[in-house]
Amino acid sequence: MITRPENIAMRKIDILDLGVRSYKKVWDLQKELVKKRQNGQINDTLILAEHEPVYTLGKNADENHILQHTPRNVKTYQIERGGDVTFHGPGQLVGYPILDLHNYKKSISWYMRGLEQLIIYTLAEFMVTAERKEGLTGVWVGDEKIAALGVRVTRWITMHGFALNVTPDLTYYSGIIPCGIFEYGVTSMARILTDEVTVDSVKQVLIEKFMNQFRTAESMIG
């Protein structure tokens, strides 16, 4: 279901909230929407979803970072994003922005830092202090990663995106070396917070922060 925030006419970004949906179906949908965005058939779109447990490997990933004791019932996908291996599963809020960076700034690093910042702002609303870590991608709480990022940009149209750990089963990470980083761990909002947190409550805040971070061409250019 596509919903439009109150000020969507100004921002020209659609929100496509899929709920729980298989990784493969959402991956295929992204590729379809990228083509439509390239042809000017749709607005910029933020896809939000949760997935069944899966591991994904970026185009430059080291397959040795999937360990021998990885659960056998978890599918693995080799995909076209940057980055190494990561996990997706229930309790993790995954965002796939389909944006035309011609309307913002033609810079992948600018885009990545923008994604990190909106997650930092989202977490702050829940009293979680997060930050970037120099030389590494993602969002961190201390020495533990709470959100992973990996994108693909084709003709300045983006796909793939970010994964924020809200209430996932973190034991799935024991089957991989997340993002190929040996020395740091992973965490989640549920692990940090004493109060209950849900994907739906985080989703509403994240949509607001996303809309504030990525504006229309008129408000971003210059």
Q: What is the pLDDT of residues 57-69, one digit of tens each?
A: 765 654 554 645 5
Q: Quick one: average pLDDT of 171-200? A: 80
Backbone phi, then psi, for 14, in 5-degree steps?
-95, 145
**Which tokens sit at 197?**
């947190």
- What is the bridge-based pairing of β-strands 44-50 and 92-98? antiparallel
Determine what percent of the chain is predicted with pLDDT higher than 70: 78
Q: Is 10 a catalytic residue?
A: no
Phi, psi for residue 125 in degrees, rounded to 5 = -65, -20
Single pTM value for the model: 0.86
What angle is formed at CA 128 by the lines to CA 124 and CA 134, rounded to 5 degrees? 90
Q: Is the pLDDT of residue 108 over 60?
A: yes
- Catalytic-role residue among 179, 197, 206, 211: 179
pLDDT score, position 56? 85
Distance CA 198, CA 177 (A): 26
Identify the pLDDT of residue 180: 46
Q: Can you give the residue ranges of every domain in the chain?
A: 2-220
- Beta strands at 185-186 and 144-154: parallel, antiparallel or unpaired: parallel
The string of pLDDT tens digits covering residues 122-161 is: 999 999 999 999 988 899 999 999 999 999 999 999 999 9
Query: Taking Cα atoms as reference points, which of 119, 147, 140 lies closest to residue 205?
Result: 119
- pLDDT at residue 63, rounded to an integer: 56
| Calpha distance 133→124 (Å, rounded) | 17
> Which of the pair, 11 or 53, is modelled with greater confidence?
53
CA distances from 212 to 13, 94, 163, 181 (A): 11, 18, 19, 31
Fold of 2-220: BirA Bifunctional Protein; domain 2 (3.30.930)
Is 50 exceeded by the pLDDT of residue 178? no
* Predicted confidence band of residue 219 (pLDDT cuts 50, 70, 90): very low
